[in-house]
Structure 1
Amino acid sequence: MTLPLSILDLATIGPGETAAQSLQGSVALAQVAETHGYRRVWYAEHHNMPRIASSATSVLIAHVASRTSTIRLGSGGVMLPNHAPLTIAEQFGTLETLHPGRIDLGLGRAPGTDQKTLRALRRNAQSADTFPEDVQELRGYLTGESLIPGVDATPGKGTDVPLYILGSSLFGARLAAALGLPYAFASHFAPDALQDAVAVYRREFRPSAQLDRPYVIAGVNVIAADTDDEARRQFLTLKRQWVRMLLGRDRHYTDEQADQILAAPQGGLVHHNLKYAAVGTPPAVRDYLADFATHADADELIVAHQTTTVADRLRSVRLTAEAMSLHGTPAP
């Protein structure tokens, strides 16, 4: 059986690109993923990040869904502390009503931004404390069993949009297990607790109406290219972007300066966060992903094709599908 493979599209705005070009690239990526046999494409909610265009997750899903026909689309994830559960139930209930059987709702506890932006979103730092209760309230709206008498989501009620708990710690693993929901681990940028969290989730899982057995999705970076040198070049470009994202909000780092940081101890965080990465030609990517799936004890992999240009991302998507023998059109 072929391991299910999905995509986390960060809707990256590359150097010299506009947000419009990035979003056009997201449409093209989903269309290529659909053609090449990927199971789903997810978009992550981030705010006040000049290189990421997926802040309005449900709007982006609607746009892409109208330009594809079969692939599942969803959030990876909606940062629930930023929103009222009823609002998210209505948004994703609307998506499911318009595109039945194609919508996923992944939920995260982090704000997806900094504290200043969190205040601009009209939320507060304590919002995350009620995440478990908010998830259950949201699930009640979508299943038609509202926990608040007299309040229903329209559209949303009875749509049973499948929920996924996202996380990078044991907290999310235990919550997903307690609620009987699938668990997606953000190992593509937070590798530390991967194996411990998956083990806890599988051990503590309790079946639910949505899911009768544990289901783990693990995130991993992928840069597939026609040559190893080209893949390594793209990976270095990605690491330079991380340096600028983490350290360069108030200044611009040249490539040479970014490389100096990467070679210094302060660059260790970038290397560590991108620990799980399949970088190379299709055979190398295939071998890495097979080993990683075993390492993560994953039922499905969600890959982030983290290149800085749309063309490179699309090529990586095609080559990876070919390498993993997904049921689709071979890469040209």
Structure 2
Amino acid sequence: MTNTFWYTRCPVPTAFSLAVLNGWIAQDLQTEGIAFRSLATTPDRSARQSHFQQTQPNFFRQGGNTPPLFSRAAGRDVRLIGLSFNESLRVILVRPDSDIRSVADLRGKRISIPRRLADPVDFWRTTVLRGFSDVLAANGLRLQDTVPTEVRIARAYVDSAQDARRAEDSLWRADFMLGHQREEAEALIRGEVDAIFSQGAIAAITQGFTGARAIFDSQDTARWVNNDAPLTLTVTGDLLDRRPDLVDRVVAQTLRAATWARAQERQAKRLIAIESGLPEDLVDRAFSPRVHEQLGLSLDDTLIARLESQNRLLVDHGFIDRPVDFTRFIDFGPLVRAQALLAETPVPAIAAAE
């Protein structure tokens, strides 16, 4: 068995990220002689692409749900071992001088639907399609009532990934987040589209640098489903089958990080800001003042139902050829066993990073 476990995480609020940044998972695995390394520490482009396609062996990922669903639908042995759900900003943005004042005014208007030409997993296209569809439906409109307008993006996500030396570094620096919605923002400013959808840290950044006006602005995501709602914690089946005990320990450290965050709001939000490429004073705007309390892992029926809804959307829009079989995708064991581990040692013995 290899002495290296690999991982990646999206630039969103997760307890997994906090456990990584505080060094807890790496320190725990080090006692077994195992290195815990970010994909950012390898220059191998195909390995980095595992952030989206999950082809790397011995691999953990927490982040948006679209890539794991893509990977599982493509036949890769990816296992879902936890879900998290936090409030997140949703906006529909128009130019400041636009005559569009409400969602109802989008009838007959050009809405931006991005297409990433170099990315086999176009999670942002799925995000925008679902975002617009759900907001329009809540206001009595359908996607067909607007003019979906494709904005083509030539650069690949991994082109913007950072080279890192520290094992805990993320693939995604702040400049990646600052430029995430660049082409859509340019299309809006040039008048090529009338409205763009955005969410989370990307929404706060995009609205800030464009000065665009929001005709829909909400952090109340209790009923919404999207790529970030819920977020998924996954592991490759090769690792889970060989060393379920170590997978359990990674999940336990993630649960401990969620507990730590609830008690350490300021420190947790500082790390969330670093992860999501935000100034600290935008964390509450991009997510919620309660985001530090919303990082726990679960596999409850409500969250699974939301993920199944996302699965249906990917099939209905032709992103994946067949629905994912959730009875084979979900493994409840690691979360149950990790909770038992915590019950035995409820107080983390490992100090947080400075």
Identify the structure with bigger relative contact order (alpha carbons < 8 Å, sequence gap 6+): 2
Provide the TM-score with structure 1 as the length reference.
0.29
Provide the TM-score with structure 2 as the length reference.
0.28
